[in-house]
Amino acid sequence: MRIGELAERAGVSTRALRHYEELGLLPARRAANGYRAYGAEDLRAVAEIRTLVGLGLSLEETRPFVECLRAGHPTGGSCASSIAVYRQKLAEVDASLARLGAVRAELETQLQEALRERAPEPRCGLTPVFTPEGT
């Protein structure tokens, strides 16, 4: 298939496919007419890249998964190098969650202090109007 068809089937732009090619994630095979030529394995590789990028991996971090697929493994995550990337990303996510938990706890503390110390709120900036009784 040509680049336009692969882009359409994979749900990416042709520009993204050219970028993957520049990074060495997608082979640059050419047909006799000079057009880029792709196969089903390339569609699988692009789908794998998109899934992983959607999970927060950088394009470079997808490389072991693509290489694993290209080596003939049933999934891109079944190789030792891919598993190492999964573990590294999980450690990064855990660290981020810990930082976010600490930030949340501090925000909660600050909010509680602010609520205890807050000044009475003015009533929409209006001064109450008193009228004589009976009018």
Q: Please indicate, yes or no, whether the overall pTM of this predicted structure exceeds 0.85.
A: no
- Three-state DSSP at 32 gives coil
Q: Are 68 and 75 in contact (CB under 8 A)?
A: yes
Structure tokens at 79: 């190789």
Domain ranges of the chain: 3-117
Q: What is the pLDDT along the chain (135 residues), one digit of tens a residue?
A: 999 999 999 999 999 999 999 999 999 888 889 888 999 999 999 999 999 999 999 999 999 999 999 999 999 999 999 999 999 999 999 999 999 999 999 999 999 999 999 888 777 666 666 666 655
Name which CATH class applies to 3-117.
Answer: mainly alpha
The Cα–Cα gap between 98 and 104 comes to: 10
The Cα–Cα gap between 62 and 19 comes to: 14
